[in-house]
Structure 1
């Protein structure tokens, strides 16, 4: 239950190492399937089974404790909105980092972030993030959900001493860079976080069952899959799409 099965060097992953991910039925080992409580709706919990588990695992890997502050880069996106909810449910304060007034409103008014830093309008993101913490020394942890490289270079500069930087997003061709001197003298931890194991999955689902997580979604039939991909390419999807394989 607490193993690192996601790190198997010869993992068989539907839609990635093995063709086929959208079908009505699949075969799986009983020991590895997620147990979903009877009272939980299958369509509602679906976004948690990948995006939710991924960000929940990242928060656990960060080592942040209740009452501490975590900065979430890409806070207004699908992963980010779930990360904020899990962070709040875990007793953490959230600094949301993203751009746009709609995302600002969502993060502050709907998701309960204590501060919002608009990276496109900020003249100094590093200082703004530090100043958003109570003692001005930066957040205890940073979750990087961004799809561009630059935020990965900034995080080590504003995280506080002994803080942790958790890379979750995977921008194509991007690299993590951090000043060696600052990383050493501040004793910063920089690490990657992949999807969770079976225990993480059970815990993430339990947060949802208790009503602490809300992932906006729309349901589409399997026959509509191509149109969903078309909308995705045009950037027209808000929240998540759940496929009903019976349609």
Structure 2
């Protein structure tokens, strides 16, 4: 039987998907579009496991569209390029992060801030203007417009570099925008997970004094000796928190669980900045008094645009910054998700897609 026009414009793909809010992933066959004139097709070699994957699988935020193939920390090699593609060639080492589309014409897009475009298209759990659905990187291949594909520097490994496409840019972007890059200043990093451990490394590369802030005292040795933090502060130790009041210029808050902001605000000096990048599923309480009395600032930040994300990858390659990862096979993903929910990972799961995903 002859294929329809729609079928001829599709490529078979295979991955793992969740079909309901139990979040359990299982093998899943689906289709991607054929490589267009402006597209790059890549064979996925690795995909990081982000905490937002877990939230989406379980519909914690209330806007999951099943079936969901998660994954937006994708690295691999180019296998096809369209005739209009000028940035990439077959065989190039590339990555795809949180977004795969935007309007390209609004003020945000014109300023290389595609991540704030009101018509942003996320890598998964999203729909294209033509109504087709997007699936993420827990799969064997993906087709993406060249604008949203990133080049991996030669010395940046594709496995430990993959989480930088979300975790790395999520902490790099606010540090750049809010001026948290002045050598010698004191940065606090609240939460020592997938985002926090990369923030420590990037902060040190900027020449900052870095204090890791965590509720887990057992992480102190690793934070200092492995990640390079200058000091460690136990957030649920009242005496130690009291001794650190008014000592920090900036804090990046990466905690994704509901937590009080007042203790963090108290750590800031006058004119200090607290930037939150975690996404708790319930509102946080914002105490205004310490903001007013200390002329302090609290802000937020999303991932960066394409230009800034490429800048971040180049910066990390220059300073030999990668994520600390635990490489897993795709059939281990459900156990990995259970462990992620318990914060039992140091510090990012990465799926070895090419060596474990098969039909």
Return the TM-score normalized by structure 2.
0.61
- Alpha-carbon distance change, 123 to 227 in structure 1, aligned in 2, over 3 angstroms: same
Unaligned stretches of 5+ residues in structure 1: 131-136
Question: Is contact 1:73-1:151 (8 Å) kept?
Answer: no
Larger radius of gyration: 2
Contact 1:62 1:141 in 2 (8 A): no
After superposition, the Cα gap between the structure-2 partners of 1:93 and 1:7, relative to the gap in structure 1 and judged at 3 Å, is: same
**Paired residue secondary structure (1:85):** helix
User: Greater shift after overlay, 212-221 or 26-35?
Assistant: 212-221
Q: Is this contact kept in 2: 1:144–1:152, CA < 8 A?
A: no
Give the equivalent residue in structure 1 for 2:18: none
Secondary structure of the structure 2 residue equivalent to 1:140: strand
Q: Which runs of 5+ in 2 are unaligned?
A: 1-109, 128-133
1:115-154 correspondence runs (5 A): 115-123=231-239, 125=241, 127-130=242-245, 137-154=246-263
User: Against the structure 1 CA distance between its residues 81 and 9, is the aligned structure 2 distance closer, same or farther, given a 3 Å change threshold?
Assistant: same
Q: For the Cα contact (< 8 Å) 1:148–1:174, is it kept in 2?
A: no
Correspondence list, 1:1-247, <5 A: 3-18=112-127, 19-21=134-136, 22-64=138-180, 65-74=182-191, 76-123=192-239, 125=241, 127-130=242-245, 137-180=246-289, 182-233=290-341, 235-246=343-354, 247=356
What displacement does 1:194 show? 0.6
**In 1, Cα distance between equivalents of 2:262 and 2:203:** 23
1:61 and 1:166 in contact (8 A); partners too: no
| Deviation for aligned residue 1:51 | 0.6
User: Partners of 1:44 and 1:158 in 2: how far apart?
Assistant: 32
User: Residues of 2 paired with 1:105 and 1:4: CA distance?
Assistant: 38
Higher helix share: 1
Question: Runs in 1 of length 4+ with deviation above 6 angstroms?
Answer: none
- Residues 212-243 of structure 1 show CA distances to partners (whole Å, capped at 9, x for unaligned) of 31322132333443343243345433222222
How far apart, CA to CA, are the structure 2 residues paired with 1:148 and 1:245?
A: 29
CA positional deviation for 1:47: 1.4
SS in 2 for 1:38: coil
Q: Deviation digits for residues 157-204 of structure 1, max 9, x if unmatched?
A: 331111111011111212241234x42343222110110112321222
